[in-house]
Structure 1
Amino acid sequence: MFDLSRSIRNLPGTNKPLRLAVRQLRWFKAAFRSHAEFCGKAMECDFRVDDIKLAGAFVRWLESIDRQKPREKGERQDFFGFAPSLVLRELVADMPISAECAPAGIDPRSAAGFWPEGYVATTFCLTVYAATMDQEFHIDVHVSEMVDDLRSWWSFRENASEDTGYAAGFFQMLLGNEPNWWMPTNFSARTRSVPAQDNIEINYSAE
């Protein structure tokens, strides 16, 4: 279901580089609301966004990345790939979005139908990340097929309800990386690439 290219085109415009725009609350809120509306149309479901919760997640995320920002320029690209996983952790910690009805336009047994709020939050992070990587490094982001795999989402929701750090690890897996499950929110515990076919198997082992 997830169409990354269409989702990127739906982001609000800005005259600043995305790496700077995303650090501004006004653009961050506008982008999140736009993405929620975009997903709502596809799902045939209206979403309500809590601006206070969204602002809280934004502030906690900025504080987290500012604490972990590497000094070495050679780590810049890796950090760009790590930072959005921390956004997802904060969004899952205090979900700022709620579905006002069951999605009518998708299979209720799909990943988006199973947890529409989590799906919107996760694809929002993927969208901003992919757009930023293209702008900064001219890199096309490839998202694992597990983004639409229901069993992976069962594991994600269950584990993140007990430890929100799991959300960061799940995001890293969507990008083809194997998280350090002991410290998935710690940049110094660097992730490593794994074969695409192994992604879902790793996720199931966490159930």
Structure 2
Amino acid sequence: MSDEPVFSRADLPPTNEPLRIAARRLRWFRAAFARVVGSVGEEVGCAFEIDDSKLTQIFIRWLEALDRQRPVPKEERAAFLEFASSLAFRELISDLPIRTRGSPVRAKREVPGGFWPEAYACMIFCLTVHSATLEQEYHVATTIDPQGGDLRSWWSFRENAQEDHAFSAGFFQKLLGHEPNWFVPEQFRYRIGRWLLEPEADGTQTQSPP
């Protein structure tokens, strides 16, 4: 996986609402998930079956987690928008709503898409929505940590996520260049450092390290 920004709105359903609002609509969320997962299936060479019941429950838990942690200060809203993606990833990994039909035929076992295709598809979904939303709201170009394509990191991720679902949130935050609070990676208020969106000289914004 490259650390260049490669995720765009092209794989997402159209909407007349801001993406941060559309993502909170079950119909759009399910349609976006199906489209992104379908694209990932074509990439790795396998078909995914989606459990819509599981996906609906995941969506509800995600919204509840967001509402419990939503910050009041305006200066923290951008950081929380970033954080929200890690909570979605946590919920998806804790109760995977997809399974493969057959083994990936275009992805080697030495890459994430071949090693754990279900989790890889969920990661791409969260990254796609995340990057498109930040681009729309703050003109931010999302960059991904190189460990996103490191199989050793995925071995550790899979092992730890099976023991503690919160680990998935920390793994996702790490992909976005933030150092997670590994004790409580699913808690926004206890995150390490400050997540900032700083303006560049040309008026655009980029993610700064914590």
Shared fold (TM-score greater than 0.5)? yes
Q: Is the 8 A contact 1:7 1:35 kept in 2?
A: no
Query: Does residue 1:25 correspond to 2:43, yes or no?
Result: no
Q: Structure 2 CA distance, aligned partners of 1:189 and 1:58?
A: 23
| CA apart distance, 1:191 | 3.2
Give the drift of 1:193. 7.4
- Structure-1 separation of matches of 2:24 and 2:194: 27
Asked whether 1:119 is paired with 2:135, we answer no
Q: Name 1:99's counterpart in structure 2.
A: 100
SS at match of 1:47: strand
Distance 1:4 1:45 in 2: 25
Partner residue in 1 for 2:171: 170
State the shift of 1:4 in Å: 5.5
Deviations 1:33-77 (A, max 9, x none): 001100011111000000000001000000000010000000011
Preserved CA contact (<8 Å) 1:82 1:172: yes
Q: Which runs of 5+ in 1 are unaligned?
A: 195-207
**Residue 68 and residue 74 in structure 1: after superposition, are their counterparts in 2 closer, same or farther (change >3 A)?**
same
Q: Over aligned residue pairs, what C-alpha RMSD do you find?
A: 1.6
Write the distance in 2 (CA, Å) between the matches of 1:153 and 1:83.
21
Q: Once structures 1 and 2 are overlaid, which stretch shifts more, 5-14 or 128-137?
A: 5-14
How far has the Cα of 1:88 moved from its partner? Answer: 0.6
Aligned to 1:60: 61
Q: Which residue identity is paired with 2:12?
A: L
1:149 aligned residue = 150
Contact 1:179/1:192 (CA < 8 Å) preserved in 2? Answer: no
Is the counterpart of residue 44 in structure 1 residue 49 in structure 2? Answer: no
Pairs aligned (count):
194
Question: 1-side partners of 2:6 and 2:153: how far apart?
Answer: 23
Q: Distance in 2 between matches of 1:58 and 1:191?
A: 26
Secondary structure class of the residue paired with 1:124 = helix
Preserved contact between residue 7 and residue 128 of structure 2 (Cα < 8 Å): no
- Structure-1 separation of matches of 2:134 and 2:192: 17
SS in 2 for 1:188: helix
Describe how 1:120-139 pairs up with structure 2 within 5 A: 120-139=121-140
What is the TM-score with the length of structure 2 in the denominator?
A: 0.89
Once the two structures are superposed, residues 165-205 of structure 1 have per-residue CA deviations (whole angstroms, 9 ceiling, x without a partner) of: 000000000011110011100000123379xxxxxxxxxxx
Question: Which structure exhibits the higher relative contact order, with contacts defined as CA atoms closer than 8 Å and separated by 6 or more residues?
Answer: 2
The normalised TM-score by structure 1 is 0.90
Shift of 1:94: 0.7
Residue of structure 2 equivalent to 1:184: 185
1:8 Cα offset (Å): 3.4
SS at match of 2:49: strand
- Paired with 1:68 and 1:193, the residues of 2 have a C-alpha distance of 16
Superimposed CA distance per residue, residues 118-162 of structure 1 (whole angstroms, 9 cap, x where no aligned partner): 000011111100000000001111011111110110011100000
Q: Matches of 2:7 and 2:36 in 1, distance apart?
A: 11
Task: Measure the CA separation in 2 of the matches of 1:174 and 1:193.
Answer: 16
